[in-house]
A and B are shown apart, each in its own frame.
Chain A
Amino acid sequence: MIRMLVPLGVFIALVIMLVAGLDTAEQRQLVASPLIDKPVPEFELPGLYEPTVQRSNDDFIGQPWILNVWGSWCWACRVEHPFVERLGREAGIPLVGFNWKDERDDALEWIARYGDAWTTHVVDFEGRSAIDFGVYGAPETFLIDHRGIVRHKHIGPIDQTIFNDLMRRIMELRSEAEAS
């Protein structure tokens, strides 16, 4: 009898987890990253088109910038792509594509197909730097100010609402940068 209750127990555990998951579904979109208001983790990563070039966080200091985590395997990235393209066009600051756990060929193919929305690329194939960034799952978007401090993080695809919110924050960061 006790043994027969095991499946029921497993199922109940699953349901509890799912209920909890439902509660935090909203939150998972805005997980408070421990990085907020901390300096960008140091990284040294190769470019996408030019694998020999190394880019580090120092290259971006002095102006606000956006870091957008994506991968060609990530469906949701395809969904947010039109808004990423708009960010690239309208934000007026560097938009760095952080290609995560991807194959270079796949990534290039994806870009050729859907368009290159980013101004600069870095590639993190092993996902080593992504751990420093606390990347939770693609797509993710970080806003970083001119001093190299992470100011905001969005998890999940960008839609119209998120886009508006990001643009507002970006404008604030830009005016901060100009004021200093």
Chain B
Amino acid sequence: MIPELGQISLILALILATLLATIPMYGAWKNNERLMALAPSLVIGHFVFALMAYLVLTVAFINHDFTVTYVAMNSNLLLPFAYRLSAVWGGHEGSLLLWILMLAGWMLAVLMFSRALPTVYRTRVLAVMGIVSIGFLLFTLLTSNPFDRILPGPPDGQDMNPLLQDPGMIFHPPLLYMGYVGFAVAFGFAIAGLLGGKVERDWVRWSRPWTLIAWAFLTAGITLGSWWAYYELGWGGWWFWDPVENASFIPWLIGTALIHSQAVTEKRGAFPAWTVLLAIAAFSMSLLGTFLVRSGVLTSVHAFANDPERGLFILGFMTVITGGALLLYALRAPRIMAGEGFDFVSRETALMLNNMFFAVSAGMVLLGTLYPLVSDFMGWAQVSVGPPYFSAMFILLMTPVVMLIPFGPMSRWRKDEITRIAKPLAISAVVAIVLGFAIAAYLGAWSARAITGWIGGLWLIFGTFSYVRTALKGRRRGLPRHQIGMIMAHAGIGVFVIGVAMVSSSTLQRDVRVEPGQTVEIEGYRFELLEVVPVKGQNWIADEARFKVFRGDRELFDMAPQKRRYHRGGQVMTQVALRPGFTRDLYIAMGERLNDDNAWSIRIHIKPFVRWIWGGALLLALGGLVSASDRRYWRESRAQARKPAQHAGQAGDEVPA
């Protein structure tokens, strides 16, 4: 396929998006069924052309078409097939194309799975998403065209960044973008609600599963990125507070607040305006993240080819989208229904606290990330904040969250008694404290951090599960899926907290000089270096150190860290050898060859419970997906469409969130 076809497809997609954003939108305004009926075919066509453009670029990569500048910049003849597929989104232009494809995909999904929505409403959602798509298509076509040619093409291309030549990196960007772009759905629902002039519980319920799915993808994407950094970059670190990591973390924090405030608004009708605002903010922060990564405003490793002009475009786009949304909000919010009242001790209060802490955290991370800009702007002393700021601030803000999480599900809507909630949780608290100390003692991890980590983590896990007992009381069938998902997610945070506390408090590491034949002993493990041999991969050569690991006299397994040199870029990369385990990871990284004969500097880590960090985060993501799959969201909305009767929440009943 010739690359120009991709270019034409993009232009056609832009035309369709423009039509979608105008004609059916007008139809929804005038309540003209015929005009609104155009929306489905426009959405499908938009998706088809976005897909086509994407496939054309993929084919160019597969066929090594180096006359396409983008291919020449990001691929070469030696690049393995799988990485040629993932190289499509390895650079700025292609990753934008992936954004567009995903946005088109989400629109298609809304079209297919939200048949039950009132036509006017669904049309508005799709048209708003169409507006978003126009922005990204224009951005791609005007400033970052992936189909630009260089003629004649070079005989071979540049190397793809070897850091990115890794299975983790194949999936990290798509998952992350799924999350980013997915917030466009929540955004579309919120704006459609405002346009309709009403913010009702109905649309909040309809948008909940979409928000949950987007949030789950974002969680998974961030997790994968962190895991990748751990084994590919790291000296064992798993989070660096890099501006670009923060750019993905801010939408996550706001998304977390959003899924909780949606629960309140749907169930009780409280804080409707706040929910709308969060939906706008979550997507706006995704846009801001894109801006930060691609404009060169902040220095970061992730930075794509920096270009202030691109930055200006995204900023202008963001101004239109977010500014327009907030203006609409200001005009319509006074007409938003008023929330129902609640007592101080109630689930509303619990969720409000959740929202406060997450929103403030998002604000703090945003402030820390933009601080170099802020201080520049204000003419203050030029300082920058490093990880110390983020860590301190985060421990401060998240400790109350960890303490409060189990109270949320336990409490009733509207009005509750503190004694009723506290009684079952008191047992969990005592068990968590006793067990926390016991486990820390057993592991010999006598530091304040490890002990509080265990207590906090166990408190979350037990506190969450004690809710299962309460919830099952008087219920014949099992728990509904959205509750199972919630329990998984909350327990997942417990697992995560334990992992973080153990890694930060009890990591062991040893830097040693080893010659073949020598052994190193750490914590009962014996590492014997057998030999260092040259090995060869498809596009790299490496020195490989072959270790045998023993525990006592028992031989456990082999480990083989490498020091790779990639052919094209000549870049040297350390490939660590990892032996993952439930309670600890063994981690060997090769350093330099030492001057004398055959000795190498080797670093060995024993990282306790490091898997729990990602395990917990994956539980979070899975929990989100399980929740989203609850039939309630999908079936009830259908029933709702047939019979749009208002159902008033009965006061004080224990409606699950």
Residue of B nearest to A115 (CB): B592
From A31, A105, A110, A113, contact of B382 by CB (8 A)? A31
| A19-B163 Cα distance, complex, nearest whole Å | 32
Which residues of B from 331 to 353 have beta carbons under 8 Å from A? 331, 333-334
Task: Knowing A31-B382, A109-B509, say if A136 contacts B301 (CB, 8 Å).
Answer: no
| A113-B237 Cα distance, complex, nearest whole Å | 13
| A34-B562 Cα distance, complex, nearest whole Å | 46
From B296, B318, B384, contact of A136 by CB (8 A)? B384
Is the CB–CB distance between A136 and B382 below 8 Å? yes
Is the CB–CB distance between A109 and B235 below 8 Å? yes
Is the CB–CB distance between A25 and B297 below 8 Å? yes
Is the CB–CB distance between A75 and B373 below 8 Å? no
B80 contacts the other chain (Cβ, under 8 Å)? Answer: no
| A1-B277 Cα distance, complex, nearest whole Å | 15
Instruction: List chain B residues, Cβ under 8 A from A22.
Output: 295, 297, 308, 311-312, 315
User: Nearest Cβ distance between residue B377 and chain A, in whole angstroms?
Assistant: 5
Residue of A nearest to B302 (CB): A75
Task: Knowing A4-B329, A73-B240, A73-B387, say if A18 contacts B299 (CB, 8 Å).
Answer: no
Is the CB–CB distance between B386 and A15 below 8 Å? no
Interface string of B203-245 (1 = CB under 8 A from A): 0000000000000000000000000000001010100111000
B555 contacts the other chain (Cβ, under 8 Å)? Answer: no
Task: Knowing A4-B329, A110-B235, A112-B603, say if A25 contacts B296 (CB, 8 Å).
Answer: yes
Is the CB–CB distance between B511 and A112 below 8 Å? yes
Is the CB–CB distance between B574 and A15 below 8 Å? no
Number of A residues near B (Cβ < 8 Å) is: 43
User: Nearest Cβ distance between residue A16 and chain B, in whole angstroms?
Assistant: 8
| A136-B384 Cα distance, complex, nearest whole Å | 6
Instruction: List chain A residues, Cβ under 8 A from B388.
Output: 101
Interface string of A120-152 (1 = CB under 8 A from B): 000000000001001011100000000000000
Instruction: List chain A residues, Cβ under 8 A from B387.
Output: 73
B63 contacts the other chain (Cβ, under 8 Å)? Answer: no
Residue of A nearest to B311 (CB): A22
B598 contacts the other chain (Cβ, under 8 Å)? Answer: no
B300 contacts the other chain (Cβ, under 8 Å)? Answer: yes
A12 contacts the other chain (Cβ, under 8 Å)? Answer: yes
Instruction: List chain B residues, Cβ under 8 A from A5.
Output: 330
| A17-B380 Cα distance, complex, nearest whole Å | 14
| A28-B487 Cα distance, complex, nearest whole Å | 47
Number of A-B pairs whose CB atoms are under 8 Å?
116
| A136-B318 Cα distance, complex, nearest whole Å | 28
| A106-B234 Cα distance, complex, nearest whole Å | 11
Number of B residues near A (Cβ < 8 Å) is: 54
From B299, B318, B603, contact of A113 by CB (8 A)? B603
User: Nearest Cβ distance between residue A107 and chain B, in whole angstroms?
Assistant: 10
Instruction: List chain A residues, Cβ under 8 A from B533.
Output: none
User: Nearest Cβ distance between residue B104 and chain A, in whole angstroms?
Assistant: 27
Instruction: List chain B residues, Cβ under 8 A from A21.
Output: 297, 370, 373, 376-377
Is the CB–CB distance between B295 and A8 below 8 Å? no
Instruction: List chain B residues, Cβ under 8 A from A47.
Output: none
Residue of A nearest to B383 (CB): A136
Interface string of B255-280 (1 = CB under 8 A from A): 00000000000000000010001001
Instruction: List chain A residues, Cβ under 8 A from B592.
Output: 112, 115
Residue of B nearest to A31 (CB): B382
Instruction: List chain B residues, Cβ under 8 A from A79.
Output: 301
Which residues of B from 477 to 505 have beta carbons under 8 Å from A? none
Interface of A is mostly: helix
Is the CB–CB distance between B384 and A15 below 8 Å? no
Residue of B nearest to A105 (CB): B509
| A22-B310 Cα distance, complex, nearest whole Å | 10
Interface string of A82-124 (1 = CB under 8 A from B): 0000000000000000000100011011101101000000000
B372 contacts the other chain (Cβ, under 8 Å)? Answer: yes
User: Nearest Cβ distance between residue B205 and chain A, in whole angstroms?
Assistant: 24
Task: Knowing A108-B511, A113-B574, A113-B589, say if A137 contacts B297 (CB, 8 Å).
Answer: no
User: Nearest Cβ distance between residue A77 and chain B, in whole angstroms?
Assistant: 9
Instruction: List chain A residues, Cβ under 8 A from B327.
Output: 8
| A21-B302 Cα distance, complex, nearest whole Å | 19
Is the CB–CB distance between A15 and B308 below 8 Å? no
B452 contacts the other chain (Cβ, under 8 Å)? Answer: no
| A156-B296 Cα distance, complex, nearest whole Å | 11
Residue of B nearest to A13 (CB): B377
Is the CB–CB distance between A156 and B509 below 8 Å? no
Instruction: List chain A residues, Cβ under 8 A from B413.
Output: none
Instruction: List chain A residues, Cβ under 8 A from B273.
Output: 4
Is the CB–CB distance between A71 and B386 below 8 Å? yes
User: Nearest Cβ distance between residue B561 and chain A, in whole angstroms?
Assistant: 11
Is the CB–CB distance between B235 and A106 below 8 Å? yes
Most A CB contacts (10 A, CB to CB) among B240, B326, B591 go to B326
**The 6 A-B residue pairs with the shortest CB-CB distance in the complex, in nearest-first order:** A137-B384, A75-B301, A8-B326, A21-B373, A4-B330, A136-B382
Which A residues form the contact surface with B (CB < 8 A)?
Answer: 1, 4-5, 7-8, 11-12, 15, 17-22, 24-26, 28, 31, 71-76, 78-79, 101, 105-106, 108-110, 112-113, 115, 131, 134, 136-138, 156-157
11 more A-B contacts (CB under 8 A) besides A7-B277, A21-B373, A21-B376? Answer: A4-B333, A8-B323, A11-B284, A11-B326, A18-B315, A21-B370, A74-B386, A78-B233, A101-B388, A109-B603, A113-B574
